[in-house]
Chain A
Amino acid sequence: MARAAPTPGQKLSFIFFIILGSLFLYIDITSNNFQSIKNGFKSFKISSFYIAKEISIEPLKSIVNLSKSKIKLVEENKDLKEALEISYLNNYLVSKENIFFKDQEIIKKTHNENNYKFEYDIAYLRSIDPNMYKCCDKHRMFIEIKQNSDNLYVESIVFNTEGLVGQIIDENKFYEVLLLTDISHSLPIKLNSSEFFCNAKGSGRSEYIICSYNPLVWTEEIKKNQIFYTSGLGGIYPKDIEVGYVSSIENIDSTQTKIKIKLLANPLNGNMFGVLKY
């Protein structure tokens, strides 16, 4: 469609507006009369930008930050938990109640007094069947060692923050740990008085080992809640480590008595372990 050329009236209007524009331009260049309008618009622009940002971007940003901080918190929590577990393991080694502190030979190996570096390896729990552990004879656990050195770990002892858990019997992708409660496990133990020794076998029940002995040979009276320690005779475990306490005593006949010992350490408590080659 054709457009009509501007009429004389429109031309006059154009001239009028151009002159008006020129007047505005002159006034604006020579004076600050329009400055308040400009400043008002600028403040409106800035405030509306901030309001728009506050409404649109900030909620999204806060959600992103929240999720980020949550992830960060979870990671920090994990790191702290790990550090705490390691400190507990260290504490277990230096605590006054167990052999690692008393025996100077072991302490030379495991504990550098200046900077508290222990020569044991940290391991993470990779697999344990709690149902098998609670019901059955075969009590095994698989662990992964954090910084796997070239050391051979078979026959190394495994402990957690509560005490001894078992020993490594096989190494593959993960290390297989034979728990103290496995019926094929035998742990030489003794009383603190060193007048009673026996081999405690795994009971196949969680947290219990059983010591059978002939009361005619070992005349020492055993009482309930008496504490048992490792004797160190097997060559795997160091001696004098607290193992557990007497839970019950059963006289089978005149030549056989069974002592049920409740272990101090439960492998289900915690995901970190110490692996120590003795």
Chain B
Amino acid sequence: MKSLLKRLFLIVFINFIDQNIAFLFSKIFIIIPLTFLAFSFYVYKSDKNISPLEAFSFGLFVDLISDSYFGLNTIIFCLTTYLINQNANSFKLFSYLQICLFFGLSASTYVGFSQLIINLYDFSYKTLLLSLFANIIFCFFVALVASYFPKKLSIKL
């Protein structure tokens, strides 16, 4: 229960940051889906497989707090969870570069999908492409920080 509340609180907090930085980055045609990346990272780092119900619930909760269509984050969270669960052992053979590329690509897939749903008439390939580069760079940056970040300070979920 405590762990669930901690995860929910983190999701709310990251979503809050996400919504605030989205406004700034939108001026330079970049979307960095922090909430999605945070959830993906949680599924990736988890010792056991994340159940589809958990992914569905988190997706629904994110839909609620981010005021998007119900089902938008739910579908992508379920798909990502499935993909990560499927390839969890393969990831151990991958380098950081490959993992960063995977998460960067999945983040830009999220951007593309959400743009198709919520912004179909103003869909921009420029935003998609710039977001792809930005997300890959962001993932590199996070990986770099994580490798130098003291293990004692890391949050256990």
Give A contacts to B, CB under 8 Å. 1-6, 10-11, 13-14, 16-18, 20-29, 34, 37-38, 41-42, 45
Contact = CB atoms under 8 A, between A and B. Distances in A.
Contacts of A23: 71
B89 A5 contact: yes
Interface in B85-114: 85-86, 88-89
A17 B56 CA distance: 7
Contacts of B49: 3-4, 6, 10
A7 to B, nearest CB: 9
A22 B59 CA distance: 12
Interface residues of B, number: 28
Contacts of B51: 10, 13
A18 B30 CA distance: 27
Contacts, number: 79
Given A24-B70, A25-B71, A11 B82 contact: yes
Contacts of A28: 69-71
Given A3-B88, A6-B49, A13-B53, A18 B78 contact: yes
B75 A22 contact: yes
Interface of B: 47-49, 51-53, 55-56, 59-60, 64-65, 67, 69-72, 74-75, 78-79, 81-82, 85-86, 88-89, 117
A26 B47 CA distance: 34
A24 B81 CA distance: 19
23 contacts: A3-B48, A3-B49, A5-B85, A5-B86, A5-B88, A5-B89, A6-B85, A10-B49, A10-B52, A10-B85, A11-B82, A14-B79, A14-B81, A17-B56, A17-B78, A21-B59, A21-B71, A21-B75, A25-B117, A28-B70, A29-B69, A34-B70, A45-B65
Contacts of A13: 51-53
- B48, B52, B59, B82: most-surrounded residue (chain A CB, <10 A): B52
B81 to A, nearest CB: 7
Contact of B52 (A1, A14, A25, A37): A14
Contact of B56 (A20, A26, A27): A20
A26 B64 contact: no
Contacts of A21: 56, 59, 71, 74-75, 78
B86 A6 contact: yes
B106 to A, nearest CB: 15
A121 B78 CA distance: 84
B70 A17 contact: no
Given A14-B81, A24-B74, A37 B56 contact: no
Contacts of A29: 69, 117
Contacts of B47: 1, 3
A3 B63 CA distance: 28
Contacts of B82: 6, 11, 14
A86 B53 CA distance: 80
Q: Which of A6, A27, A37, A42 has most B Cβ within 10 Å?
A: A6
A45 to B, nearest CB: 8
Given A24-B70, A29-B69, A37-B64, A18 B86 contact: no
B64 A18 contact: no
Contacts of A16: 52
A3 to B, nearest CB: 4
B61 to A, nearest CB: 10
Contact of B72 (A1, A25, A42): A25
Nearest to A4: B49
Given A24-B60, A24-B70, 5 more contacts: A14-B82, A21-B74, A24-B71, A41-B64, A42-B67
A23 B53 CA distance: 16
A18 B75 contact: yes
A27 B48 CA distance: 33
Contacts of A34: 70
